[in-house]
Amino acid sequence: MRLLQLVSPTLPVGAYTYSQGLEWAVEHGEVHDAASAQAWILDLLHANIAGFEAPWLAQLLADWDGADDTLLAVHDARYLASRETAELRAETLQMGHSLRRLLIGLQDFPAGHARRLRALATPSYLLAWACAASAWQLPAAEALQGYLWAWAENQTLAALKAVPLGQSDGQQMLAAFGRAIPGLAAAALTTGLDAASNFAPGFAIACARHETQYTRLFRS
């Protein structure tokens, strides 16, 4: 039940305000229908989110389960350094701040994790998310699947608004992402930080171009 709460689109962290470059891909014509939206999101899921963020999430889960808060801060700083654009960095910091405030305010959130999270000045969203998953003792494999699902669902919701697409299109896309996610999460558990890669130049360009897009619905 805690995992369902953590991956819910109603989690009040502002995820719905971000498209992560998808809106620019729509403006540029790279994404123009359900098939191209699914291809864009699935390619990014493979090339970047599951290949980079998921292994980092696995590492941060292990860090929270340990007791070395210095290592935790170092790993978070390295993750923040990987954000290719100003708005991608601002996004993870804003969402990290919002999730930290939410978790610390929950009456039954474990005190030890709350204390350690409060001591971190500017946690990324990935770090705060890993804190919640560790505090609630979520199995790593399930936590990674949940994180990937939440990202894919948010991208799908962004596509429904920006393309725009119908609800049935969105469900078809989510079905495709759901088939891919278990295998991607399992692979991320054994990838390791040295092999993690976020090399997706089209994504970085889309995010950078989106920052100066003339009209837009989303913040990044």
Q: How confident is the model at residue 30 (pLDDT cuts 50, 70, 90)?
A: very high
Q: What is the pLDDT of residues 176-209, one digit of tens each?
A: 999 999 999 999 999 999 999 999 999 999 999 9
Q: What is the pLDDT of residues 130-179, one digit of tens each?
A: 999 999 999 999 999 999 999 999 999 999 999 999 999 999 999 999 99
pLDDT at 215: 85
Mean pLDDT computed over 208-216 = 89
What percentage of the chain has pLDDT greater than the value 70?
Answer: 100
Q: Which two tokens stand for residue 204?
A: 């970085």
CA–CA dist 103, 89 (Å, integer): 21
pLDDT at 120: 93
CB 54 within 8 A of CB 144: yes
Give all domains of the chain, ordered by start, each with its CATH number: 18-210 (1.10.4190.10)
Residue pointed to by tokens 């960095």: 89
CA–CA dist 57, 76 (Å, integer): 10
Q: What is the pLDDT of residues 58-71, one digit of tens each?
A: 999 999 999 999 99
CA distances (Å), origin 219, targets 5, 21, 60, 107: 24, 9, 26, 31
Contacts of 4 (CB under 8 A, 6+ apart): none
Mean pLDDT computed over 41-65 = 97
Q: The pTM is what?
A: 0.96
pLDDT at 72 exceeding the cut of 90: yes
DSSP-H helix ranges across 29-166? 34-44, 54-65, 69-81, 86-105, 111-118, 125-135, 140-162
pLDDT at 2 exceeding the cut of 90: yes
Amino acid in position 160: L
